[in-house]
Amino acid sequence: MERQTLVYLGGVSGRRPKVPVDPAVLEETALGAMTDEAASYISAGAGTRATMDANRSGFAGWRIVPRMLRDTSGRTMETTLFGRTLPAPLLTAPIGVLELAHTDSDVAVAQAARATRVPMIISNQASTPMEEIAATLGDSPRWFQLYWSSSDDLVESLVGRAEGCGAEAIVVTLDTTQLGWRPRDLDAAYLPFLRGKGIAQYTSDPVFNRLVEESAEDAGDAPKPRPTLSAIRTLIQLTRSGASRAQVQKFTQVYSRPSLAWENLAFLRERTKLPILLKGILHPDDAERAIAEGMDGVLVSNHGGRQVDGSIGTAEALPAVAERVAGRVPVLLDSGVRGGADVFKAVALGADAVLVGRPYVYGLALAGAAGAQEVLENFLAEFDLTMALTGVTSVGEIGPGALVRVP
Ligand SMILES: Cc1cc2nc3c(=O)[nH]c(=O)nc-3n(C[C@H](O)[C@H](O)[C@H](O)COP(=O)(O)O)c2cc1C
């Protein structure tokens, strides 16, 4: 039965959805239920948050033109990506430090992904080692998102582990060679990684732990920080997280490589046969270069507006990227996608698939795995309904002709 019908029928017996369906209410309720630090970190945007606004106004700048009397009773959302048929052009965005939202973190999202068959992109900054997430996913599809660290050995190790976990693609995030300027987190002076959160892929990695040991041998009698009350509190948090101070310190040294350049991609290309997608592409020339470097897909993303303030919205950037790529490799999009109609617009503008970001984290925060699952089900249901009500029966029929630009 359709999700909408199930919800209304549930209401007859007094059952309401576990998490709000309205995207704005979902966000507000979830942020209100979290600690201040968690809410700031998850909702944070760069600078004045103008990029987050651009993501939304980018979608609002296009309007759908529904067509009538086209039998839509037999429709399908199925989409094929890299040879795998998916239930819909939808994946979960890689989102780190999910323990801020719920103690079940990535495992709960894996349960939701498995229940809906929506592929999960496992984050490099997850709160749970990828092997545990993969075990929860069973035979449901998963990709791995990589941050290119300053250690090539670590990059190789993470990619090898991802292959062992059955990842069907590697997504290399390019827009975070350094952390964006996020006033809310700066005002709270809060970065979860320094408390040992969101570094489980590192602390579970043999190469990373070898690097930690090598540093310990070199460190000798380095001065210890003064034991203030806050420092003690952080130490307690660290102990609870299972990470050691040495591991956190090493993480801060290796996690990013600001020198990363196009020439580095060959290293990865030689080490995996999996499709590689570049995440953070906003300029058509960069998409062109990605193809020239042997990449298998591009992901139009601005990291949910968390990196550069005042940058182009992804719905604005997508048409030019899709036009240049011209079907040679899949083009995906995320940032600011808040419902099934946004998914429809992105597909109409040239995206082969779309990533859901913060909304599933809000579902997770409110009701764990069941909450994340409901959010994904709502996206699927609204996308399906948008197809039905606009007169299309398959994803391939959704094209630029379905939209007009707001004058
Ligand atoms: C709290 C948070 C953590 C994130 N962590 C990662 C990450 O570990 N790796 C990554 O590639 N992107 C990360 N992202 C970006 C998402 O993959 C995605 O691009 C973004 O959430 C899309 O924007 P939206 O949430 O506004 O839809 C993160 C985003 C948020 C909000």
Per-residue pLDDT of 151-177, as tens digits, reads 999 999 999 999 999 999 999 999 999
- Count how many residues are written for the chain: 407
pLDDT in tens, 117-155: 999 999 999 999 999 999 999 999 999 999 999 999 999
Ligand 1: which of 303, 308, 338, 342 to mutate, most ligand atoms within 8 Å of CB?
303
- CA-280 nearest atom, ligand 1: 19
Q: Is the CB of 99 under 6 A from ligand 1?
A: no
Residue 384 lies in a domain: yes
- Is-contact 265 295, C-beta < 8 A? yes
pLDDT score of 72: 98
Q: Is the CB of 198 under 6 A from ligand 1?
A: no
Helix (H, G, I), strand (E, B) or coil at 143: strand
pLDDT score of 178: 95
Long-range contacts at 150-155 (CB < 8 A, ≥ 24 apart): 150/253, 150/254, 150/255, 150/256, 150/257, 151/207, 151/208, 151/211, 151/254, 152/267, 153/207, 153/211, 154/202, 154/205, 154/207, 154/208, 154/211, 154/254, 155/267, 155/268
pLDDT score of 217: 81
Residue 104 lies in a domain: yes
- Residue whose CA is at the smallest distance from ligand 1 atom 20: 304
pLDDT in tens, 231-282: 887 778 888 888 999 999 999 999 999 999 999 999 999 999 999 999 999 9
Q: Is the CB of 402 under 6 A from ligand 1?
A: no
Q: Is the CB of 335 under 6 A from ligand 1?
A: yes
CA of 355 to the centre of ligand 1 (A): 10
pLDDT score of 220: 63
- CA-338 nearest atom, ligand 1: 27
- CA-175 nearest atom, ligand 1: 11
Q: Is the CB of 337 under 6 A from ligand 1?
A: yes
pLDDT in tens, 258-267: 999 999 999 9
Q: Is the CB of 304 under 6 A from ligand 1?
A: yes
Segment 55-74 mean pLDDT: 98
Position 225 pLDDT exceeds 70: no
Fill in the DSSP letter of residue 83: T
Position 222 pLDDT exceeds 70: no
Between 226 and 6, residue with greater pLDDT: 6
Q: Which residue(s) pair with 63 in the sheet?
A: 404
State the chain's mean pLDDT as an integer: 96
Residue 182 lies in a domain: yes
pLDDT in tens, 25-62: 999 999 999 999 999 999 999 999 999 999 999 999 99
Position 223 pLDDT exceeds 90: no
Q: What gap in Å lies between CA 84 and CA 79, rounded to an integer?
A: 8
CA of 303 to the centre of ligand 1 (A): 5
CA of 334 to the centre of ligand 1 (A): 9
Q: For residue 178, how many C-alpha atoms fall within 13 Å in the half-sphere facing its CB?
A: 6
Q: What is the CATH number of the domain that holds 270?
A: 3.20.20.70
Residue 236 lies in a domain: no
Residue 196 lies in a domain: no
- Residue whose CA is at the smallest distance from ligand 1 atom 28: 95
- CA-44 nearest atom, ligand 1: 31
pLDDT score of 376: 98
Residue 159 lies in a domain: yes
Q: Is the CB of 92 under 6 A from ligand 1?
A: no
Q: Is the CB of 313 under 6 A from ligand 1?
A: no
CA of 192 to the centre of ligand 1 (A): 14
- CA-198 nearest atom, ligand 1: 8
Ligand 1: which of 35, 57, 91, 95 to mutate, most ligand atoms within 8 Å of CB?
95
CA of 314 to the centre of ligand 1 (A): 13
Number of independent structural domains in the chain: 1
CA of 249 to the centre of ligand 1 (A): 23
Residue 352 lies in a domain: yes
pLDDT score of 229: 80
**Global pTM value:** 0.97
Residue 90 lies in a domain: yes
C-alpha distances in angstroms, 333 versus 10, 25, 282, 354?
A: 34, 24, 10, 5
CA of 58 to the centre of ligand 1 (A): 18
Segment 339-353 mean pLDDT: 99
pLDDT score of 239: 81
Tokens of 172: 């290399």
Q: Which residues carry out catalysis?
A: 303
- Residue whose CA is at the smallest distance from ligand 1 atom 31: 42
Residue range(s) defining the domain that contains residue 69: 15-187+259-405
